[in-house]
Amino acid sequence: MTPLWTSQAIAQATGGVASAPFAVSGVAFDSREVGPGDLFVAMKGESTDGHRFADQAFARGAAGAIVGTPVDQPHILVPDTARALEALGVASRKRMGGKVIGVTGSVGKTGTKEALYQALDRAEPGTVHRSVKSYNNHVGVPLSLARMPAASTHGVFEMGMNHAGELSALTRLVRPHVAIVTAIAPAHIEFFGSEEAIAIAKAEIFEGLEPGGTAIIPYDSPHVATLYNHAERNAARILTFGRGDGADVRATEAVAAPGGGSLVTARLPEAELCFTVAAPGDHWVSNALAVLAAVEAVGGDLGAAGLALAEMPGLPGRGERLRVKARGGEALLIDESYNANPLSMAATLRQLGREQADRRIAVLGAMRELGDQGAALHAGLAPLLAEGQVDFAILVGAEMGPLADALDGRTSFVHVEDRDAATQALRAEMRGGDAILVKGSNGVGLSRLVAALRDGDSD
């Protein structure tokens, strides 16, 4: 098997000095994630120093390390390990001759990235690389680049930000041939002040486009003009996606599929495609259109993409559907515990209202980083609970106080302090035949509530 990196190539890319020859098959900066044959990058963080875990990394099978101070095992010695990882990512991108796609957005970027990976890999199995998990920041993006095999035909990279200028730096590392903005919502609005400012910051992804590159933007967004204007400065081609009549990639029809999900007819510039999206919800129809636009832009197989969208499973924390034990039978648990903002809350609550269930329960955690708009945006969820036909709500965290006040008897609910109290409340309330939505910002920790119900007994 061809190694991902040799010590010579790592030293050349980073300007470091190798203590001994070695070769690696993967890259990790978390010693707990190191596997046999990996390169361990000893990063210095605010609260810890990765050099303390070098022995642990080698015990787990690391073949070498990038370090700032010498260790007894094979290593590359560099002045700054963070800069070395970035340099390794740059070298990886430079040696890869395939097509690269960058994905950002306030919502939907991880799901779109995963769906796009599945769509491309369906046509060319084993040749497509993508960033794993949500490694989308100034450390995660270089790591994801460094992990990319040189022979990859496609690379799909998620990029995130919560301050202006961050995407500009990331996209210049990734250098995408295609750049996607999924949607604009008031996520991280605490740091921007307005959605318009968020749209401008998201549009930074176009600054790294390769010559002749394509920008893909949401036609139905109120910020489409802002995104389009910024895309024009860097993109040779712009594709819009959505349901509006002017969209370049448009869903001419989308109806609920008998087994869940949606049946979609989409019109592209040079094709028309009928396909199924396995994941339910209008937001997933939108994600699928962005995927098709990207596949078309890189000359991929649209038929294979349609098949992949029909088979794609739900992602943990982002729509995975689980059957869990409850009094009197089983309940459907919809795991949206990874993130939350007003737009994604609206989409998932609307979908909850379409679920066939005896009752609908919503466990809603606080939406973070909303700044001085937080109270109003939380209170604004009240009509969405009615639209979602929520029979009972469990509101988690102090930030949910304004929503509790706004409900004013329209929906039965309890307001609890934290995840543990929410878990107890849900165990006491749920029963067979329920559909349960769990959604909140990752910091609320509702993923542990999901794990408790998935792995335990709710009686």
Question: Quick one: angle between helices 166-174 and 195-202, nearest 10?
Answer: 20
What is the pLDDT at residue 206? 98
Mean pLDDT of the region 67-75: 97
Mean pLDDT of the region 322-337: 95
**Long-range contacts of 88-91, Cβ-Cβ distance < 8 Å, separation of 24 or more:** 88/5, 88/10, 88/13, 88/14, 88/27, 88/142, 88/145, 88/146, 89/141, 89/142, 89/143, 89/144, 89/145, 89/146, 89/173, 90/13, 90/142, 90/145, 90/173, 91/9, 91/12, 91/13
Q: What is the pLDDT confidence band of residue 20, given thresholds at 50, 70 and 90?
A: very high
pLDDT in tens, 165-202: 999 999 999 999 999 999 998 877 778 889 999 999 99
pLDDT in tens, 193-239: 899 999 999 999 999 999 999 999 999 999 999 999 999 999 999 99
Q: Does residue 408 carry a pLDDT above 80? A: no
Q: Does residue 4 carry a pLDDT above 50? A: yes
Q: Does residue 458 carry a pLDDT above 60? A: no
Mean pLDDT of the region 301-325: 92
pLDDT in tens, 268-288: 999 999 999 998 889 999 999
Radius of gyration of the chain (CA): 23
At the top level of CATH, the class of 320-455 is alpha beta
Mean pLDDT of the region 60-79: 97
- Tell me which residue of 299, 444, 421 sits closest to 368, measured CA to CA: 444
Q: Does residue 456 carry a pLDDT above 80? A: no
C-alpha torsion sign, points 390, 396, 400, 404: positive
Q: What is the pLDDT confidence band of residue 459, given thresholds at 50, 70 and 90?
A: very low
Q: Token match 């070298």: residue?
A: 91
Q: What is the CATH number of domain 5-80?
A: 3.40.1390.10
Which range (115-119, 296-300, 303-307, 370-374) has the least confidence? 370-374
At the top level of CATH, the class of 96-311 is alpha beta
Which range (48-57, 61-70, 309-318, 332-341) has the least confidence? 309-318
User: What is the overall mean pLDDT for the chain?
Assistant: 94
Pair 437, 361: CB distance under 8 Å: yes
Better-scored residue on pLDDT, 434 or 409: 434
Pair 421, 385: CB distance under 8 Å: no
What is the pLDDT at residue 435? 97
Instruction: Please report, for the chain, the start and end positions of each structural domain, with discontinuous segments joined by +.
Output: 5-80, 96-311, 320-455
